[in-house]
Amino acid sequence: MIRSRFVRSSVLVLSAFVALSCSDNFPTAPVTAPVTAVRAGTPQAALLGGLLGGGGLLGGLLRTVTSIVAFVANADKPVYAVAWNQDYEHVSHTVSGTITDRGGTLTIPESDFTITFPRGAVSQPTLITITSDPDFVAYKMLPHPMAFAKPVVVTQRLRNTVVYGKPLPSPIYGAYVDDAPLDILSGLFHALEIELSATIFAPGSTTLPEATSWTINHFSRYMLASG
């Protein structure tokens, strides 16, 4: 159980860094989120290092701080959606593509969004369509319902969001939410799940967020949330 959780956490963190470095050579930076902390020198850190060979990128992360927001299957709680900032073009953007059993990646450049399907996540060619929300960092994902054999990783850059460039007052994470908001004006939604999530901070900082990644196991509506 513990080993499985840290394998998934390691894959999530490294997938986030791969997605970011492929996009525009994002520099190595600490990863943090305050629900489940993994610090250098602990048995958990040693387990992560052993699983992925230690050293290199992972070693650099563990010399700083690596933290993961834990998965909550039945969250049943109100959460606040992270909003786009005033400079963002407040319109919906859509990407579609066929993913096969070999995996693949889809991006929405206007929304700084990347979703990566590992090999074996789907068993047959599947047309995937993802549409961004014009006001919040949220996405409708089709086909629905659809479950994946392996976790899919979402990576969301934060430079066009209201949380960018300032210390986070509370953790941010991916959340699976109801379609109908509890209060659209305040961005209040009902979270059905809290997803395993990792937030990457600016180099030399443990407070200024640059990007967040989270894993998902099925399709519907997901958003970047807090609270």
- As given in the structure block, the two tokens for residue 128 are 């995937």
190 neighbors 78 (Cβ within 8 angstroms): yes
CA distance 70 to 33: 9
Asked if pLDDT for residue 5 goes beyond 60, the answer is no
- What is the distance between the alpha carbons of residues 89 and 141, in angstroms, rounded to a whole number? 20
pLDDT of residue 34: 34
Q: What percent of the chain has pLDDT over 90?
A: 49
Q: What is the DSSP letter of 24?
A: H
pLDDT at 117: 94
Domain residue ranges of the chain, discontinuous segments joined by +: 2-226
CA dihedral 215, 216, 217, 222 (to 10 degrees): 170
Mean of pLDDT over the chain: 77
**The domain over range 2-226 is classified in CATH as 2.60.120.10:** no
207 in Cβ contact with 167 (< 8 Å): yes
Which pTM value belongs to this model? 0.75
Helices 43-52 and 56-63 pack at an angle, to 10 degrees, of: 170
